Amino acid sequence: MKAAKDYIVFSLDVPSLKEAKQYIALLSEYVGMFKVGLELFISSGPEIIKIIKTSGKAKIFLDLKLHDIPATVSRAMTSIADLGVDFATVHCGENKEMLEAAVAGSAGKVSVVGVTVLTSVSGEDIDAAGFRSEFSSDISLLVMKRAQMAMKAGCVGVVCSGLEVKMIKKNFGKDFVALTPGIRPSWQR
């Protein structure tokens, strides 16, 4: 049985390795996973992964949101898998082939999760991007469509908002992962 801390993902959404090290030292015994995003990974590279791995038992979620042609995504995921992270993200973009390429590139070494719709995207944004009006009027329909595509492609789950977890679990089962690392206190929005 998992401990309560195993469900906590701490987002290392900081710009420097120095700041990240402080949070890792403070929290490694109390969280189940650290999320490393694009900003921190670009500034610190694989060094941040090594630091987390040597600081305790917390898992590592590398949130780079890959999105490119399938061959490039596959090769990038192979490199990510070699880092020894537990989860890595790929956008649920235009086609299932990109998601399948990410899963193939992972070679089972890293759990691939799809990013359905970023929480910063509004219905107006969806409309302006040319999506059908049913998706812009109810973004959860697009989330569900992309989650289904991710599941069919072999992803272990999706990144979604806390408001979508119940819907994801109901439609795809309790074993389909629903990661919600972007929860922030109301004073930090």
Q: Which two tokens stand for residue 68?
A: 């490119």
Q: Is 67 left (phi over 0), alpha (psi -120 to 50) or beta?
A: beta
Alpha-helix residue ranges (DSSP H) falling in the chain: 17-27, 38-44, 47-54, 70-83, 96-106, 123-128, 133-137, 139-153, 165-172
Quickly count: other Cβ atoms within 10 Å of residue 2's Cβ.
Answer: 7
Which amino acid, one-letter code, is at 101?
A
CA-to-CA dists, residue 67 to 74, 93, 114, angstroms: 10, 7, 10
Taking residue 90's Cβ as centre, other Cβ atoms within 10 Å add up to: 29
Residue 53 annotated in active site: no
Whose tokens are 């009027």? That residue is: 137
Catalytic residue (one of 53, 65, 145, 169)? 65
Catalytic residue annotation: 65
